[in-house]
């Protein structure tokens, strides 16, 4: 099974635009949107939801007021200041509760229950470009790394069940827990990088992460003409550190036009889309499907 994950050191670099462009070109694949905090690949791929599942992960403390004697022990013990006093009653702010369970274990009255936490939903869909696995974490919910891991497991199972050989993922932005989960089991990461000092810094962070997890990294420099000197610096770092420079894309308003029309850049004839087709071909040579 071939697993390709498109990542970036932060949001807004063009990661999803490039993922959609590759999703149009890839054959025999499952598409996976791993940006579970703020998914947007569905806007371009228009998935028809076939299955809808709840994502249950972790717990939240809830104080039973009929048992609580308002001693304040839980408020003193909670390291996250999640227990507050409102109108003379101790209550848990569910947005602050980290589900550590300390208050549950140490309440002298056993007044705190600890139900499962419903953190979001995940879906299996038929999209314009094929089978898609995606999700939406509820606002303020944690455990995005676990949800990413669940999506990848589901994508692998679905791919195996119907004989699809490639999983193409729009990874999570940043370098935190969900990105680490995104990279788990991947055979190739495609890093989308902007030519700015912060983009170069982000590139170095994702390169470190890929090196640590032994995932080869291929780089696309997006909007390279906005800062040719930085683009050169990033290209130099790729050469120095042994990462493949998959290609460079110019700044082009066609990207916005494609988005407004809800089209992938590779669906119609344009300079950026045609460059992405060349990059997809280069990627096939780098990491061939079976
Ligand atoms: S420790 Fe238990 S009894 Fe005391 S305030 Fe908290 S919930 Fe109520
Ligand atoms: S479960 Fe942990 S974080 Fe949540 S209220 Fe209790 S002590 Fe605080």
- Report the pLDDT value the prediction gives residue 177, as an integer from 0 to 100: 83
Residue 290: its pLDDT value, please? 65
Number of residues that this document lists for the chain: 290
Give the other-Cβ count within 10 Å of 53's Cβ.
Answer: 13
Do the bridges between strand 188-193 and strand 2-8 make them parallel or antiparallel, or are there none, so unpaired? parallel
Flag whether pLDDT at 221 surpasses 90. yes
What's the CA gap between 10 and 35, in Å, rounded? 11
Q: Which ligand is nearest to the CA of 109?
A: 1
pTM of the model: 0.88
Instruction: State yes or no: pLDDT of 188 exceeds 70.
Output: yes
Kindly report the average pLDDT of the chain as a whole number.
Answer: 94
Looking at all shown ligands, the one closest to residue 107's CA atom is 1
Structural domains in the chain plus CATH codes? 2-57+119-286 (3.40.50.300), 61-114 (3.30.70.20)
When pLDDT is averaged across residues 241-265 and rounded to a whole number, the result is 95
Choice between 37 and 262, residue whose per-residue pLDDT is larger: 262
Residue 84 token pair:
């507050």
Predicted confidence (pLDDT) per residue in 62-106, tens digit: 999 999 999 999 999 999 999 999 999 999 999 899 999 999 999
Region 219-236: mean pLDDT is: 95
Top mutation candidate among 107, 108, 110, 113 for ligand 1, by most atoms within 8 Å of CB: 107
Sign of CA dihedral 224, 15, 276, 188: positive
Region for 47 from its dihedrals, namely left if φ exceeds 0, alpha if ψ lies in -120 to 50, beta otherwise: beta
Tens of pLDDT along 95-147? 899 999 999 999 999 999 999 988 999 999 999 999 999 999 888 777 788 89
Closest ligand 2 atom to the C-alpha of 114?
A: 1
Does 15 sit in the ligand 1 pocket, CB within 6 Å? no
| Ligand 1 near 82 CB (within 6 A) | no
With pLDDT > 70 as the criterion, what percentage of the chain qualifies?
Answer: 100
- Is residue 242 lining ligand 1, measured as CB closer than 6 Å? no
Q: In ligand 1, which atom is closest to the CA atom of 109?
A: 3
Among 155, 213, 153, 204, residue whose Cα is nearest residue 179 = 213
Q: Whose CA is nearest to atom 3 of ligand 1?
A: 68
Residues 6+ apart with CB under 8 A from 237: 200, 203, 204, 207, 243
Whether 68 is in the pocket of ligand 1, judged by its Cβ within 6 Å, is yes
Instruction: Tell me what pLDDT residue 189 has.
Output: 97
pLDDT score, position 46: 95
């Amino acid at each position: 099974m071939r697993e390709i994950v498109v990542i970036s050191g932060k949001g807004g670099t063009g990661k999803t635009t490039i993922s959609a462009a590759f999703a149009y070109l890839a054959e025999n694949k499952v598409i996976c949107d791993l940006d579970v905090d703020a998914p947007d690949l569905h806007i371009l791929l228009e998935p028809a939801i076939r299955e809808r599942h709840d994502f249950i992960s972790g717990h939240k403390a809830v104080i039973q007021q009929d048992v609580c004697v308002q001693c304040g022990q839980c408020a003193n013990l909670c390291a996250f200041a999640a227990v507050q006093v409102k109108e003379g009653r101790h209550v848990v702010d569910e947005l602050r509760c980290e589900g550590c369970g300390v208050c549950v274990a140490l309440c002298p009255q056993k007044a705190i229950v600890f139900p499962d936490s419903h953190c979001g939903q995940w879906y299996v869909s038929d999209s314009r470009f094929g089978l898609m696995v995606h999700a939406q974490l509820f606002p303020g919910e944690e455990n995005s790394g676990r949800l990413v891991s669940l999506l990848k497991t589901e994508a692998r199972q679905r791919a195996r069940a119907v004989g699809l050989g490639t999983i193409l993922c729009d990874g999570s932005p940043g370098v935190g827990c969900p990105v680490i989960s995104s990279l788990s089991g991947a055979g190739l990461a495609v890093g989308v990088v902007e030519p700015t000092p912060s983009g170069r810094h982000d590139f170095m962070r994702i390169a470190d992460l890929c090196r640590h997890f032994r995932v080869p990294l291929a780089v696309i420099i997006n909007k390279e003409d906005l800062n040719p000197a930085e683009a050169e610096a990033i290209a130099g770092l790729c050469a120095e550190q042994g990462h493949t420079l998959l290609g460079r894309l110019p700044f082009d308003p066609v990207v916005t036009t494609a988005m407004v029309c809800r089209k992938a850049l590779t669906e119609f004839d344009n300079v950026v889309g045609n460059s992405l087709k060349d990059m997809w071909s280069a990627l096939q040579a780098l990491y061939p499907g079976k």
